[in-house]
Amino acid sequence: MYRVFLYDGTFEGFLTCAERILSVDIDIEKLRIENKSTYQPMFFDTAVFVNANKGISNMLKERIIKKADKNTFKKIYYCFLSEVQNKEMYIYKYIKLVLKQGKKVKYFYHDDVVNFVEKVSKSVSREIGKYMGLMRFNESEDGLLYAQFEPVNDILVPISYFFRGRLANFRWIIHDKKRGKLSFYENGRIRFLKKADLKTAFSNEDLLYQNLWKTYFKTMTIEERKNLKLQRQNMPKKYWKYLTEKK
Amino acid sequence: MDILEKLQILGAAAKYDVSCASSGSKRETNYGIGSTFTAGICHSWTDDGRCISLLKILFTNECIFDCAYCVNRKSNDIKRATFTPFEIAELTINFYKRNYIEGLFLSSAIKNSPDWTMEMLYKTVYLLRYKYQFNGYIHVKAIPYASLDLIRKTGFLADRMSVNIELPSEKSLKLLCPNKTKESILKPMEFITKVGEEERNFVSAGQSTQMIIGATDDSDRKIITLSQNLYKKFKLKRVYYSAYTPVNDDPRILKVEKPPLLREHRLYQADWLIRVYNFTADELFEKDENLDLEVDPKVMWALRHLDRFPVEVNRASYEDLIRVPGIGIKSARRIIKNRIFHSLDFDDLKKIGVVLKRAKYFITCNGKTYERHLIDTAPEKIKLQLIEKRVAEQKVHQLSFFDTETFGSVITGEI
Ligand code: SF4
C-alpha cells in the first residue's frame, strides 16, 4: 500500500510535490511520486494530485541552492529531464539528503541515490553538450532557421536557451520530433509550443551551403588517419539522421 | 573559380593544422551574431575521428616560400586558389548560423609578401567583426615577417593568434625552411605575448603554436624542453604537435612511411605532465632520448624512481599523489577531501576513480599493499604488466586532437 503523489509532469509540478511531502514527513518506503499522465492506479493505493505552484517550487529551489549550491540544483534539474524509470523517488531522496548535508553529498560515493543522480545528470548534460554541436539548422526562403532532433532526454528547454545566446539575431525553431513539441524564437523571446505540422522548404541558398558544408566535411578527412570507429564513438549513429554532412 | 572549388582546395590545404580548440575565450557582448562558449564545442567528427569545431581554411595556398615539408611550397605543382575577405566572411556567417561551426580558424600561405597576406587576414577579420557583427570564435595565424603593426591590429579582433614554431630546433628549421629564421618566428610570438600582457581584449583566448614531429631527428627531450620554455617564456596556452604526414618526397626530410601517431600521443601526454602536473622536462628525461612508446610518460618516470614509492594514500601530499600512475588531478583532489572523513581503502579508491590496475604497484592504503609482494617487484616486471599492448589507434587520435582541457571529465587526458 502506497501513498501516491501525482504531479503534472513539469519540473515545477514535481518540486511543488516534493516540497509538500517534505513538510509532512512520510515514511519513504510507503511513498511514491508519479507523473499523472503515466500513472496506473493500483487498488490499495491512495493517490492525490498536487497542483504545480510557482511560488512553492521556487521556495524549494532557493532552499536547495542556499544549503548546497547552484550546481547541485542543476544536477537535480538535469536528472529530472531524463526519462529513467522511477527518477522521481531518487530525486526526492536526493533533495532530502542535500537539505540535510549540503553540497558535500557529491562525495558520498557509497550512496546509491547520490550515484544515481550523478550518473543520470551527467548523461543528460552530455547529451545537451552533444546537441550544442550537432544541431543543424536549415534556412527557409523567408530567413527562418529550422532544426529538428530526437533527443533521448527531454532537453528542449535548456538547448533552446543555449541557442538564444548564440542565434540571437535570427528567428528560429527547434523541433523535438520525438515528443512532438518545439521552441520558437523571435525578438529575444522563446515560446514553447506543442506540436505542429511544419512544412519545411529550404531556400536554394540553403542547399548551396548544405553542399559547401558536405564538401568541406569530406575534405577535412586525413586519409592516412582514417578511423571510422572513432568517428562513430564520438558521433554515434543515432545523431546522423539530421546531420547535413551524413545525409 | 567557384566558391566550392576554392573551399575544397583551401580546406584541404589547412587540414593538417591540428589546433582545433575553440575554448577559453572571454568575448562577451550582447549584440550581433554568436557567442563563444568557454568549454569549446565539437560540431562534427571527420572520418578520421577528429573533431571539427572551426571552419579551418587558408586564405590562399599560393606561396613565395619553399618549406620542404609543406604541400603549398612554391616548387610544388598544385592547384592554387585565393579567397577574398568577403567570401570568407559569407562562408563563416552562413556556416555559423546553421550551427556547422563554432567559428573561424584562418591561416594562410604567403602570397605576394608577408605584409600583403597579413593585411588580407586583417581585412577578413575586420569585415566579420564590424560589418557582420560576428562574435563567434576567431583564430588567426600571424605571418612570419609581417609588420608588427598589422599583427597588433589583427590581435584586437581575434580570440586567439598563433605563430607556428614549425620545427623543434634551429638546425632543423634551417634545413627545411630556408626562408624562415628563428627570429622571424620568435619575434611576432614575443610581440603577441607582450601586447597581450599590456592590453585588454587582445587575443583574449591567448596564443598557441604548433610543431611538426618526425620530419627531423630532434629527440623528444628537445621537443618537450622547447615546449616548456615556450610555456614559461611566452605564456603560450598550448603547444600542438603534429605527426608529420609525408606529402613531399624531399631528401632533407627523414623517411617516414606513416605519421608517427603514437609518438605524437606520448608527446601530448608529456606536455600535459609539464603543464598540469608540475613535472619538468629534466625530470622526465635522463639523457637526450625519446619517450617510451610502450608505457605512458608518467609510468616511465615512476619506474625510474621506484625509491619514491610506495606512496601512502592516506597521508601523502597532493604533489606526491598526482605523481602516482593511475591517480589524476581529479582523483587526487577527491582523495584529499575524502580522507578527512575516514581513512581510505582500495575499494574507496576505485570509487573515487583511481585506476588501480596501474596505481597498485605504487601505493599503500594504511600500510597495506593491494596484493602481497606487489611493491618489491622489479621495474622491468612492473613494466611488463603495464605495457599498453595495443594502444588502441583510436585512443591515440583522441588525445592528440582534442583540446583535452576543454572536455573536462569526458576526455581528461589524465594519466
Ligand atoms: S611559408 Fe607556410 S605555406 Fe609557404 S611553404 Fe612554408 S609552410 Fe608552406
**pLDDT tens-digit profile of B249-261?**
888 888 877 888 8
Residue A13 scores a pLDDT above 80: yes
User: What does the pLDDT read at residue B39?
Assistant: 55
User: What does the pLDDT read at residue B397?
Assistant: 44
Nearest to B87 by CA among B74, B73, B104, B99: B104
Nearest to A177 by CA among A139, A145, A151: A151
Q: DSSP class of residue B128?
A: I
> Interhelix angle for A204-219 vs B85-97, to 10°?
100
Residue range B48-66, pLDDT digits in tens? 888 889 999 999 999 999 9
Residue B63, ligand 1, Cβ within 6 A? yes
Residue pair A133/B44 in contact by the 8 Å Cβ criterion: yes
Residue A141 scores a pLDDT above 80: yes
Beta strand pairing call for A3-7 and A46-49:
parallel
Say what the pTM is: 0.86
Residue with cell 497542483: A51
**Which grid cell is B148?**
608588427
Averaged pLDDT for residues A111-140 = 95
Q: What are phi and psi of B56, to 5 degrees?
A: -105, 110
Residue of chain B nearest A171, judged by CA positions: B97
Distance of alpha carbon A31 from alpha carbon A25, whole angstroms: 10
Strand partners for A34: A6
Find the B15 Cα to ligand 1 centroid distance in Å.
14
User: What does the pLDDT read at residue B396?
Assistant: 47
User: In chain B, which residues have their Cβ closer than 8 Å to the Cβ of A220?
Assistant: 11, 15, 46, 50, 52, 56
A26: confidence class by pLDDT, cuts 50, 70, 90: confident
Residue pair B279/B228 in contact by the 8 Å Cβ criterion: no
Tell me the average pLDDT of chain B.
Answer: 86
Residue B245 scores a pLDDT above 90: no
Find the B184 Cα to ligand 1 centroid distance in Å.
13
Please report, to the nearest 10 degrees, the dihedral formed by the alpha carbons of residues B395, B401, B405, B406 taken in order: -110
Residue B376 scores a pLDDT above 70: no
User: What does the pLDDT read at residue B374?
Assistant: 67
Averaged pLDDT for residues B290-315 = 93
Residue pair B162/B142 in contact by the 8 Å Cβ criterion: yes
Residue range A192-245, pLDDT digits in tens? 998 767 777 889 999 999 999 999 999 888 777 788 888 888 898 999 999 999
Backbone region of residue B240 per phi and psi (left: phi > 0; alpha: psi in -120 to 50; beta: other values) = beta
Distance of alpha carbon B79 from alpha carbon A21, whole angstroms: 72
User: What are the C-alpha distances in Å from B236 to residues A139, B160, B288?
Assistant: 39, 11, 24
Tell me the average pLDDT of chain A.
Answer: 92
3-state DSSP assignment of residue A156: helix
**Which grid cell is B193?**
605575448
Distance of alpha carbon B119 from alpha carbon B127, whole angstroms: 12
Find the B237 Cα to ligand 1 centroid distance in Å.
23
Distance of alpha carbon B215 from alpha carbon B249, whole angstroms: 12
Residue range B92-137, pLDDT digits in tens? 999 999 999 999 999 999 999 999 999 999 999 999 999 999 999 9
In this complex, do A139 and B98 lie within 8 Å of one another by their Cβ atoms? yes
Q: If contacts are CB pairs under 8 Å, which of residues 198-217 in chain A contact chain B?
A: 206, 209, 211-213, 215-217
Share of chain A above pLDDT 70, in %: 99
User: What does the pLDDT read at residue B408?
Assistant: 27
Averaged pLDDT for residues A36-59 = 89
Residue A242, burial from CB neighbour count under 10 angstroms (0-12, 13-18, 19+): middle
Instruction: Provide the number of CB pairs (under 8 Å) joining chain A to chain B.
Output: 143
Check CB contact of A219 with chain B, cutoff 8 Å: yes
In this complex, do B4 and A222 lie within 8 Å of one another by their Cβ atoms? no
Share of chain B above pLDDT 90, in %: 65
Nearest to B186 by CA among B202, B170, B204, B175: B170
Q: DSSP class of residue A11?
A: H
* Lateral strand order in the sheet of A138-139: A138-139, A144-149, A171-176, A181-186, A189-194
* CB environment B267-289: b (16+ within 10 A), e (fewer): bbbbbbbbbbbebebeebbeeee
- The DSSP element (H or E) to which A147 belongs, if any, is strand A144-149
Strand partners for A185: A172, A190
All residues at 6 or more sequence positions from A66 whose CB lies less than 8 Å from its CB, including other chains: none
Instruction: Work out whether the CA dihedral B42, B45, B51, B54 comes out positive or negative.
Output: negative
Residue pair B125/B92 in contact by the 8 Å Cβ criterion: no
Smallest Cα distance from B100 to chain A, Å:
7
Q: If contacts are CB pairs under 8 Å, which of residues 93-152 in chain A contact chain B?
A: 107, 109-110, 126, 129, 132-139, 145, 147
Nearest to B42 by CA among A231, A215, A160, A246: A231
Residue range B158-205, pLDDT digits in tens? 999 999 999 999 999 999 998 899 999 999 999 999 999 999 899 988
Distance of alpha carbon A45 from alpha carbon A26, whole angstroms: 14
> ∠B335-B341-B342 over CA atoms, to 5°?
80
Distance of alpha carbon B238 from alpha carbon B251, whole angstroms: 31
Ranges of beta strands (E only) in B98-206 are 103-107, 137-141, 160-162
User: What does the pLDDT read at residue B400?
Assistant: 40
Distance of alpha carbon A3 from alpha carbon A24, whole angstroms: 12
User: What does the pLDDT read at residue A157?
Assistant: 96
Distance of alpha carbon B136 from alpha carbon B125, whole angstroms: 11
Distance of alpha carbon B82 from alpha carbon B38, whole angstroms: 32
Selected for mutation to probe chain B from A210, A219, A244 (highest B CB count within 10 Å) is: A219
Residue B329 scores a pLDDT above 70: yes
Residue range A144-174, pLDDT digits in tens? 999 999 999 999 999 999 999 999 999 999 9
In this complex, do B42 and A234 lie within 8 Å of one another by their Cβ atoms? yes
Distance of alpha carbon B263 from alpha carbon B267, whole angstroms: 6
- The DSSP element (H or E) to which A22 belongs, if any, is helix A11-24
Averaged pLDDT for residues B216-224 = 95
Residue B409 scores a pLDDT above 50: no
Complex ipTM value? 0.92
